[in-house]
Amino acid sequence: MSDTIFSKIIRGEIPCHKVYEDAHVLAFLDVNPLSPGHTLVIPKEPAVTVDALSDDASAAIGRVLPRISRAVLGATGASAFNILQNNGALAHQAVFHVHFHIIPKYDDGTGLGIGWKPQSFDHAAGKELAGKIAATLAK
């Protein structure tokens, strides 16, 4: 993958407001926050999208995501938050290095706005698709 702004932040070439770092993970405040405390949690492994992330890097993220979320809530006083993870330009990804947004949601409505438009569900098609996904996973 090509170098991104997040690779430069990992290498310390660009400053950030760091909140957490270990051998595999870095977390820092988003520079264009949707709300106070909006934090980005990134693997140091340079994968573009989450489906390309190694098991070890994803385990390292999963291990600390709840802890960092608790710290964001504790420091901001927020009681609700969203975790957002975009993959691909079509899905609103702008920085092509895997990242998880922790976005506090406040009583005044600041935080992540969600356009959630559920479609009708066809159980026959759903059964076929679930089988297909499961078969792909088993490969």
Question: What residues line the site for ligand 5GP (CB under 6 A)?
Answer: 5, 14, 16, 28-32, 86, 92-95
Closest CA to 53 of 100, 98, 89: 98
Type of residue numbered 83:
I
- Closest CB to ligand 5GP among 89 and 125? 89
CA-closest candidate to residue 112, choices 38, 40, 49, 42: 38
Q: Of 99, 102, 101, 100, whose CA–CA distance to 7 is shortest?
A: 99
99 is catalytic: yes
Judged by beta carbon, residue 113 or residue 134, the one nearer ligand 5GP is 113
- Minimum distance of ligand 5GP from residue 58's CB (angstroms): 17
Residue 6 C-beta: closest distance to ligand 5GP, Å: 8
- Calpha distance 42→7 (Å, rounded): 10
We find the least distance from the C-beta atom of residue 119 to ligand 5GP, in angstroms, to be 24
Considering beta carbons, is residue 82 or 93 the nearer one to ligand 5GP?
93
From the centroid of its chain, how far is CA 81?
13
Provide CB contacts within 8 A for 77, sequence distance 6+.
none
Catalytic residue selected from 17, 99, 101, 123:
99
Active site residues: 99
